A and B are shown apart, each in its own frame.
Chain A
Amino acid sequence: MLAFSFNDTLLVATVLFSIGLAGVLVRRNMVFMLMSLDIMLNAAALVFVGAGARWHDATGQVMFVLILALAAVETAVGLAIIVCLHARGRPTLDADTGNLLRG
């Protein structure tokens, strides 16, 4: 018997996703928004792994690996945009002020 039932996994993932969503909505600092996005991606990955354990299928962990790659790309590009905005001389990391990116 697994320590986590599928319902527990869904509950934890839902709470994690809600926290991440609240972070994206509430915080205006872009670094914190990226961290909240990572929390949300982790919640989604947790559901995949939990479902894979529930139905004993390796596809859940395959999806986990893919989500990991997606999170790495998203973090890299997001942090590059933050560094770019900061190097442009912007004094704050408020997301509401950065709506123009002249590549």
Chain B
Amino acid sequence: MHALALLAACVTVVGAIMVITRRVAVHAVLYLVVTLLALATVLVMLGASFAAMLEIIIYAGAIMVLFVFVIMMLNLGQPDSAREKEWLRPRAWLGPGVLATIVCAELLYCTSPLSGAAPVPAAITVHDVGADLFGRYVLVVELVSYLLLAGLVSAFYIGRNRAGGR
């Protein structure tokens, strides 16, 4: 079991290094998705499966889609033919593919009933998290809702259409 933990941690770190060293932004987003998936694996091994699911759904799902949309909107230079040649070259997708294959193989190995993966003892379940979140920390939840509202308003204000003149 410790080899799997080491593998997930290594994929996380290598993916993070790849994120900050890529030159093309979309490649970095691919590596960042792999990094977040590997980090979700680490969270599962810590016994926090709820946090891992949130990591996959919100981080690797929603926030990364936001990044991809913005990168698509920015359209940073690069004529189309050169860009498509870049897509077709294996070097562009080989790295994320290999790392994602490692994570996927680890997932398959862990879910296989023959591997005899012991259940994590005394994992913290969603019930505990929810009871804490809406019991002791209900004021913090309200504050976070204000933070989200402030973020929504400021993003709308910054990104509003100025074509009509000020």
> Interface of A with B (CB < 8 Å)?
1-4, 8-9, 12, 15-16, 19-20, 22-23, 26-27, 29, 31-32, 34-36, 38-39, 42, 45-46, 49-50, 52-53, 56-62, 64-66, 68-77, 79-84, 86, 93, 103
Contacts and interface: CB of A to CB of B under 8 A. Distances in A.
28 contacts: A2-B47, A3-B1, A3-B120, A4-B9, A8-B5, A16-B39, A19-B13, A23-B19, A31-B71, A32-B20, A32-B25, A35-B19, A38-B59, A39-B19, A39-B35, A49-B46, A61-B124, A65-B129, A65-B133, A66-B140, A68-B58, A69-B148, A72-B63, A73-B148, A75-B67, A77-B158, A79-B70, A84-B158
Interface residues of B, number: 62
A69 B39 contact: no
B36 A42 contact: yes
Contacts of A26: 20
Given A57-B124, A62-B132, 16 more contacts: A3-B2, A4-B42, A8-B5, A12-B42, A31-B28, A35-B19, A42-B39, A45-B51, A64-B54, A65-B54, A69-B148, A75-B67, A76-B155, A77-B151, A77-B154, A82-B70
Contacts, number: 178
Contacts of B46: 2-4, 9, 49-50, 53
A72 B144 CA distance: 11
Main secondary structure of the interface of B (DSSP, over half): helix
Nearest to B32: A35
Contacts of B92: none
